[in-house]
Structure 1
Amino acid sequence: MPGPSRICRCQKIIAAGERCPCQIRDARERKARHDARRPSARQRGYTAEWQHAARAFLAEPQNSHCACGAPATVVMHVISIRKRPDLRMMRSNWRAGCQRCNALDAAKERQQ
């Protein structure tokens, strides 16, 4: 059974488990500010060469699923390329992953 409704800081009554439109807007703006400061994918090392190699890696049958069981959509680095940029193109440092696991790994890395 859902909890009681609450009052948002904008004074709207919000049902339990829901987000107020002002909170959604604020989150979208915060993410846009972050993305504006973030280097481009190419600046972070994800070149055309990387994209081609990553697609080939994910096309291999043994790399079709993430460790969590979800379909693999991204190539993750075992050792972060922030720590070891020289291992960026080393297939031995790659593993198949899903967007969720990749985001969780990135968040853990930022906390360290």
Structure 2
Amino acid sequence: SSVKSEVGLKLSDSAMKSYFKENSSGKWEMQIPDDSIGRQSHRWPIGFITSGCVQGSKKLSAEGFCEAVLLSHLREEQWKEMLLKQRRSEIYVLVRNLKSVAYRLALASIVLEYQENDIEFL
């Protein structure tokens, strides 16, 4: 079975419970490790990939929903370590399949920054 949010994202029950926990009031909240070592190495999910490739596209790409503010903060953190001419608008992110523990490096873009091209991009 799966849980469906208002925007149409579907997650299996096991995936939902690996990221979130239900509190006594019935609301779901992010599951954060209790121990200090677990909290230090915890990778906060900032979004979900909804399809592995964009239909009709010749480029390898994926679509997903992410928190734009968190993506922007992540890019700022990455830019601190780079020279000005090396900076890109794309953000390096780690992605993984829900059934896997292995992460892969990927590039993310904030579509809202490409307002004139956002319809074409989608």
Question: TM-score, normalized by length of structure 1?
Answer: 0.25
Point out the structure with the larger helix share: 1
Higher relative contact order (CA 8 A, sep 6+): 1
Point out the structure with the larger strand share: 2
Question: TM-score, normalized by length of structure 2?
Answer: 0.24
